Amino acid sequence: MTRWIAYSVMRLGLFSVLLTILILLGLEWWVSALFATVMAFALSYIFLARQRDALAADVRARRKSKRTVDIDAESEDAAWDSQGNSESKP
């Protein structure tokens, strides 16, 4: 959970800094917000790759740990396919 918070705070901080700079340069607030959004996205994609990958790994691990294992799934699928029902499953 802390990786998610840290990554979000970094992205929000980057957006806030860019928004402040653009407003101080005299642009309208909505134009500044639009440009700050695009620039923050591009810069976070480039410079926050390590944090984004760590967050993705954390999410992947959480999803994997919450999966329930169905022991009979493979045998049921094989039985279903052997009956000629390979197009769709119920």
Task: Name residues whose C-beta falls within 8 Å of residue 86's C-beta, 6 or more positions apart in sequence.
Answer: 80
Domain count for the chain? 1
Q: Can you give the residue range of the structural domain that contains 33? A: 2-67
Residue 60 confidence (pLDDT): 87
Q: How far apart are CA 18 and CA 14, in angstroms?
A: 6
Does residue 85 form part of some domain?
no
Q: How far apart are CA 17 and CA 36, in angstroms?
A: 8
Q: Are 51 and 7 in contact (CB under 8 A)?
A: yes
Q: Are 51 and 3 in contact (CB under 8 A)?
A: yes
Take residue 59 and report the two structure tokens written for it. 């999410």
Residue 79 confidence (pLDDT): 79
Residue 85 confidence (pLDDT): 64
**What does the pLDDT profile of the chain (90 residues) look like in tens digits?**
688 898 999 999 999 999 999 999 999 999 999 999 999 999 999 999 999 999 888 888 888 776 666 667 777 777 777 876 655 555
Residue 87 confidence (pLDDT): 58
Does residue 7 form part of some domain?
yes
